[in-house]
Structure 1
C-alpha cells in the first residue's frame, strides 16, 4: 500500500522527515518497505528560479533575438539571450540557470550550459510553459504576477513542492490502516498528537428533486447502506490538486466524479460507488441476490455468470453492480452524466470475499470490504464526498441522505488483566500509560479495577478481539525497542536446538546436487486433481481439497512432487532446453479419515530428483549419450553416502510410477524410489522425453543423520575378485542374485556387481545370462586360494539350488 507524505500531513502535524515517519510507522507494525521522492513534474524544476528582466535590447546580429540582463538574486545579473517576442524590461520571469535540466512537454530532457549565441554570451534561459513541462504553450515566455523575491525557486511559485510516496507492507489483519486517515491514527498514538478531521459541517440537502428509494433484502450481507443523489453536476477533468493527490500514490486520474470516489477511498478507507442517476430504473435501488447463472456485464466489458450468493445492487429492472466488488458497464458515470446516486455501504466481509474469489476480481473496494471496513464511516464519508463533488463538479444535493442501519454493529468487549500485560510484554508498564495508549487508539476502558479492565474496541479494529490482541496494541505503540533485555540469561530462556538441523542438511544436500549439475526448483503445492488420480494406488490417503480454489487446475494439494518436476521439465523443453537435471525440497499433503469419521491432515517433506536428455552439453571432444538409469542411481547413492548410508536392501519399484526402477530400504523402511517414469504419466503434462526420477522420504533420511559416525581402519590386506556367468530364467533379477549372495557369505563378501548381460537363442527360451563379479576381502589376513574356492563353491551351490542357475565359468 502506498501513502503520500504530504497527504498524511493534512491529518496530523508532521515536522518529522519522511524517513523519520517511516521509522515510526515500522515501529508500530506498519512496515515501511521503501520511500520514493515524487516530483509533480519531471525534475521538479530543480535549478529553475524566479527572475526579473532588468534590461532588454535587440541583438545586433539577429532581428528575432533580444539581449537581456536578469536579476536572479545573485550578486551580479545574468546575461541571457532570448528569442521570445514578448520579453520586456521589468517583467517577472522564470529562469533556468546553467546546470539545470529541463523536461519539456515533448522531446528529450535539456541540460543548460553557458553558451554563445551569435557572439553574445547567454548564462541561462527564459522559459516558456512547454519548456518547463507545465503545459503545451510556446507562444512566449511565462510572465508572472508575483511579489516573490528574485531567486525564489520556481517550484515554490507553482506549488510544486516534492512529495514522498511511502510504501507500506500492509499485513491482512491491519485493514484499518489502509488509508491516510488510518495510517495517521497510528502516528497520532505513537506521537501523542491530535488528528485533524476534514469538516463536513457545511453539508446540506439543497432540494428533493431526485429521490431514489433504497431497499435491502439481504441484511446479513449488507448490514448498512447509505446514499444520496447529486443533480446538475458536470463531469470533466479533475482539478490539479486532485490529480496530484491520486498521482502521488500511483493512481491514474479518470474524471472528477470517479476521482473523488477514489480520493475518499484512500483518504478515509471507505469505498464509494457512483451510479448515473438517469440510468436507475424506477428510481429504486435494491440490494439483493439473483438467481444462479444470471449474466452480468462488468465495467471491464466481461460478461460474468453470477452465483446465487453474489450480493448485487440492482434497480427496479436490472443489476447495476456486484456489491463491494465491481460496477456494471451500463450504470456507471460517463461524460454525459448530469446526476449521480452516490453509495457508501458496509458489506459483509465473508460475502465480498467469496464473490471476489469466485469471479477473480481484485479491486480497491473488494480489498477493503473482504477484510472488514469501518461500519461507522459510511455517512461521514458520504458527506465528505458530496462536498468535494460539489466543489469540483458543481451540482446540488437533491435528496435526503438515506442511511439504512437497523442493527448497529457493536464494539468488541475484551476483558484484560494487568498481570497478563506485564507477563506478555516482559515489563510492568504504568497503568496511566497503558490507558493513554489505548485511548489514543480509540479503545476505551470500562469496569476498571486494581487488577484489570474491560477494553471497548471499535468495530473497525477487526483484528483486536482477544486479550492478547489488546496487549499487542499496547506493545506496538509503547515500542518494542523500549522493552529491555533481561540482564540474566538462563538455560530456560534459550531455545533448545534440535540434534538434527533440517536446514543445515538441506543446504548440504543442495550443494552436493548443485555440484553434480542439478538445478534447484521451487513449485506450487497446489495441483490438478487428475495428477493425484493418476497415481492413486501409491498414495497414503485422500486428497486435501481447497474450499475456494483459484481455479480447477489448482484445486487440490499435491501428494507427490513428481508432476511438479515434470511440469518444470516440459516448460523448459518447450523453450529448447532439453538437457535437464533438477531437484526440489517440498511438502506433500494427504488426509486420513479415522473410524470415528474425523479427518486428520498430514504433511511430509520430500526430496525429488529428475533427469532428462543428454548426459552433457554437445562437444566435438566426445560423442554425447542419453542419460540412463545408472546416472540417476549414482547420484542417489552420493546422497545416501552423505548420510553415511553404506548398506541397504532393494526391491523393484512400484510400476504405477516407474516403467522400471528400484526402491531402497534402510532398516526395512523405504528411503528412496527411483527409475524411469511411466510414459503415460509423462504424457499427462505433454512430455515426450524419457525422464528418470527419484523420490526421497526426506524425514526418514534425516533420522539416519542422527546415527553416530563410525570409522574403520584402512584395510591392510588386498581384496580379490572372482567372476561367474549365470544362466537363469528371465524373471530372475539381479537383486535376487545379490541378496542370495549376501545371505550365503556374510564374512568376506564385500560387493556384488553385474558387468554384462546376454540374451540369445542358444541359451534357450526365456533364459538370460548374467556376468557377475564378486569382491572378497578378509580384514584379518590375506585370502588363500583354498578359502576363496570354498566361498565360490558355496555361492555356486546356492545359485543352483535357489535360483536354478546354470554356471558357466
Structure 2
C-alpha cells in the first residue's frame, strides 16, 4: 500500500498511533448541537456524566492569531543610506502618520499592499523562536514595524520576499480579514475502555444532547449514484464471523493533492498532520463519526478482487513500515487474488495504498469483530486510531452512512466521481440489545426514587427505546453502538449519569461492602522497614530520653515554655519536663560523639514529643534526621566535603517518595531554630521542617560545629503513606533531555520552579535537574539564573520532536506566567 495509505502508524504515511485520549473540537460539536455554554462548562458537564475531560486547550490555526498584523501600503521606497541591501520605506498602516520601516526584502517597492507587524506585535515564524516587534534603529535609521514574509508570519515556508497583496481593503485592516484564522477550543477526554461509543465527535454530541435536552443536527444520508466508469471491483467476504459487515464503493477521476484549509485546520486541532485530500477525509470521518475507513488504490488491486479472509500461519506480509511480518493465522486480512493487501482494521500493506499518482480508489467501510482486531493488534504490537476503535466495538449501523459522507467530501475536495454502486455485504444484521428493567431495582441501586416519566425521558434522550412498560418495569431496546449497555445494571448506570450523581443526597448513615481486602497498615512494620532503608544509606539509629531540660524551651526562643509537660516527682532539674521536639535530645548525642573525636555523624530517631493542648495533654510521633561534619572524608583522591542542605533534603525526599507522599507547599524559615530552612506542608498541615540549626540552639546543647536537621510529622506520614511496595516497569523507550536557562527573581525558590514544571510537564516529565545557578553583574540586580535540565520519557511510545516541542512550549509558558521567568537563549 503506497506511501500515503491511511492505515499506517506515522504521519508521513497518513495515519497516526492511537491517541491515549480523545481530542474533541468545540467548533465541530457546535455543528451537531446548539451550544451556548463555555468550553469549561461543557467540560464540567461531560466529566460529571462519566466522560472525564482532562484539559481544555485553545487552538489557533495560525500561532498568535495574526494579532497586531495589519494591511499596509508602501508609500515610498528608497535605498538605505548606510546599507546596500536594505530599503528605507514609509508605510501607511491606517494611523495618523505613515510609519518609517527599514526592510531587507529584495522585492519591496512603492505602491505595494503588504502585511505589516506593528510595534508590540509578536511573530511566530515557521522556524525559530517567537519574537516581539519593537521600535529600533537599524544602521542609524528608525524602524517602526516590520513588513512581513510568509514564513515570518508562520503561514508558509517562503522567505523569497515580502508578501504582496492584491486587495482593496483599507490600510490598517487586520490581517485576519484577508487570511482566515480558525479559533477553537479542544477538549482532552480520557476515554475509559467501556465508552467506545464516545470515541468520536458524534458520540460526545449524543451525550450532550441527553445532558442538555437539545436535539442533534445530523446530516441526512446523501444519495450516491454511479456517475462514471471506473475499475470493476468485486467483493467476497469468506469470513463473515469476524467481518459481519463489509461495504465499499469505487471512486474515479480523483485529483490527489492538499486538502482545503478548513480540513487541515480541523486535523491539526486534533494533533493530526494533514497528508492529502483522500487520506485527510478518511481521518476526518474517523474522528467525526467514529468509523474507520480504508482507501485502496484501485489500479493496484489484482484482478479487481477484494477478498476478506484469514491467511495461513507464518504467511509473510510486508506492512507499510517496510517490515516483513509473519502472520499468526488468526488475523483477518483484506486480500486480492495475489495475497494480502491489509491487516484488516489495523495496518496496511506496502503495495496497494493511495499515492500522489492515484486516480481511482476502492473505499472500504466495515464492521469487524472486536476480538479479532484486539488479538491481531496485540500479536503484532500495533496500536492505531482504527484498531483503537475496532477492538472496543464500532457501530455496525454506521459503515454505509460514513461511506456516503466520505463520498460527498471526495466529490467536493478531490473532484471524485462515483464509479460503482455501494457494495454492502451484511448477511446477519447485528440485533439491538433487549434488556428487562425493574423500577424497584433502579431506585434501590441509585438510592433515590426517580419518577418513571423521568426515567423514560432520560433513556429516550440516549436513543434507548422503552417498550412494554408496566408499573413494575419495562423492556429497554439499546442500539448496538452502545457495546457497554447489555445488562440491567448498565441501564441504571446510564440513567444515573444523566440524572446526575450530585442529585443523589448522601445518607447520614453510610455503609458499603468491599470486594477487595483492605488490611490495616502495620505501623511498626512501616517504621522498621524505613529504619532499614535509612541504615542502608549509612545512618545510625539513636534512641534518646523523652525527659529533657526545661531550659531548652525557656532559652531557645522557638518553643513555648508554658506548653511544657512537667514531671511532678522529677529526679533532677535536667530531666524535669517532657520534650516538645527531638532537636535537643539529638544534639546532645551529637555533642557526645563530637567530644570523642567522632565529628562526621548521620543519625535518625523515631521518638515521641509532648505538650499541653487546649483539651489536655497531647503527644505525637516524630522522625528526626541529623547531619554534621563531612559526608566524605579527606583522601588523596579528593578533599573533604561537608554536609549541606541538599544531603538532608534529598533524604527526606527519598523517604516521602518511598511512601508515596507528594510534598505540597514549601515556604522559607528564617527564624529559630534555623539560620535558614524550609517548612514542608501537606495540604493545610505541617509535614515537617528542614534547615541549618541556628548557633544559639547549638550553644544550648554545647555543639561546636554545623548541624543540619529535619523533623517530620510521623503521625501524618503514617496516615498518608500508600505503602513501601511501589513498582513500575522500566520503559523500553528512550529518555530525552532538554535544557532551559531561566532568569527569575531571587525571591523565587527552586521548589516553586519545580512545582510549576511538574504541573506543566505532565506525565512525560520524569525528573528535573539544576546544573548551574548564576547571580552576578551579567543579569539584572535582584535576579538569578537557573540552568535546568528536563528529562522527558513516554512509557508507551518513542517521543517525537513534535511532542517534545509541545511539552517544552508548555513549560516555557508556565514559567513565564507563574514565576515571571525570562528564558535566556
Task: Give the structure-2-normalised TM-score.
Answer: 0.58
* Residue aligned with 1:230, SS: strand
Residue 709 of structure 1 is matched in structure 2 by: none
Return closer, same or farther for 1:517/1:464 CA change in 2, 3 Å cut-off: same
Return closer, same or farther for 1:498/1:438 CA change in 2, 3 Å cut-off: closer
Residue 243 of structure 1 is matched in structure 2 by: 264
Map 1:136-285 onto structure 2 (within 5 A).
Answer: 136-138=157-159, 140-144=161-165, 153-285=174-306
Return closer, same or farther for 1:147/1:287 CA change in 2, 3 Å cut-off: same
Return closer, same or farther for 1:398/1:474 CA change in 2, 3 Å cut-off: same
TM superposition shift of 1:404: 0.4
Map 1:357-506 onto structure 2 (within 5 A).
Answer: 357-486=378-507, 489-490=508-509, 492=511, 501-502=520-521
Residue 794 of structure 1 is matched in structure 2 by: none
Return closer, same or farther for 1:128/1:305 CA change in 2, 3 Å cut-off: closer
Could you tell me whether the CA contact under 8 Å between 1:52 and 1:90 is conserved in 2?
A: no
Q: 2:92 aligns with which of 67, 70, 74?
A: 70
Could you tell me whether the CA contact under 8 Å between 2:228 and 2:252 is conserved in 1?
A: no
TM superposition shift of 1:417: 1.7
Residue 101 of structure 2 is matched in structure 1 by: 81
* Residue aligned with 1:516, SS: helix
Could you tell me whether the CA contact under 8 Å between 1:78 and 1:123 is conserved in 2?
A: no
Return closer, same or farther for 1:498/1:215 CA change in 2, 3 Å cut-off: closer
User: Residues of 2 paired with 1:127 and 1:356: CA distance?
Assistant: 48
Could you tell me whether the CA contact under 8 Å between 1:97 and 1:112 is conserved in 2?
A: yes
Q: 1:514 aligns with which of 513, 524, 533?
A: 533
TM superposition shift of 1:89: 7.8
Could you tell me whether the CA contact under 8 Å between 2:241 and 2:369 is conserved in 1?
A: yes
Aligned CA RMSD, in angstroms, stands at 3.2
Q: Does 1:43 align with 2:64?
A: yes
User: Residues of 2 paired with 1:318 and 1:25: CA distance?
Assistant: 46
Residue 808 of structure 2 is matched in structure 1 by: none
Structure with the greater alpha carbon radius of gyration: 1
TM superposition shift of 1:350: 1.0
User: Residues of 1 paired with 2:388 and 2:632: CA distance?
Assistant: 52
* Residue aligned with 2:218, SS: coil
* Residue aligned with 2:195, SS: helix
* Residue aligned with 1:172, SS: coil
CA offset digits 1:95-135 (Å, max 9, x no partner)? 31212221233444332111245665433223232321222
User: Residues of 1 paired with 2:183 and 2:525: CA distance?
Assistant: 49
Structure 1 gap ranges (5+): 520-615, 624-809
* Residue aligned with 1:465, SS: coil
User: Residues of 2 paired with 1:490 and 1:497: CA distance?
Assistant: 22
TM superposition shift of 1:60: 8.6
Return closer, same or farther for 1:36/1:516 CA change in 2, 3 Å cut-off: farther
The structure showing larger relative contact order (alpha-carbon pairs under 8 Å, at least 6 residues apart) is: 2
For structure 1, which segment, 31-40 or 361-370, has the greater mean C-alpha deviation from structure 2 after superposition? Answer: 31-40
Map 1:559-708 onto structure 2 (within 5 A).
Answer: none
Could you tell me whether the CA contact under 8 Å between 1:41 and 1:133 is conserved in 2?
A: yes
TM superposition shift of 1:178: 0.8
Map 1:730-809 onto structure 2 (within 5 A).
Answer: none
User: Residues of 1 paired with 2:297 and 2:515: CA distance?
Assistant: 65
Could you tell me whether the CA contact under 8 Å between 2:200 and 2:287 is conserved in 1?
A: yes
CA offset digits 1:249-273 (Å, max 9, x no partner)? 1122222222221221111111111
Return closer, same or farther for 1:141/1:209 CA change in 2, 3 Å cut-off: closer
**Aligned length in residues:** 522
Task: Give the structure-1-normalised TM-score.
Answer: 0.60
User: Residues of 2 paired with 1:273 and 1:137: CA distance?
Assistant: 34
Return closer, same or farther for 1:513/1:214 CA change in 2, 3 Å cut-off: same
Q: 2:122 aligns with which of 82, 96, 101?
A: 101
Residue 326 of structure 2 is matched in structure 1 by: 305
* Residue aligned with 1:502, SS: coil
CA offset digits 1:298-349 (Å, max 9, x no partner)? 1111112222322111112211111111111112112222211110100111
TM superposition shift of 1:410: 0.7
Return closer, same or farther for 1:61/1:301 CA change in 2, 3 Å cut-off: closer
Residue 293 of structure 1 is matched in structure 2 by: 314
* Residue aligned with 2:194, SS: helix
Return closer, same or farther for 1:518/1:371 CA change in 2, 3 Å cut-off: farther
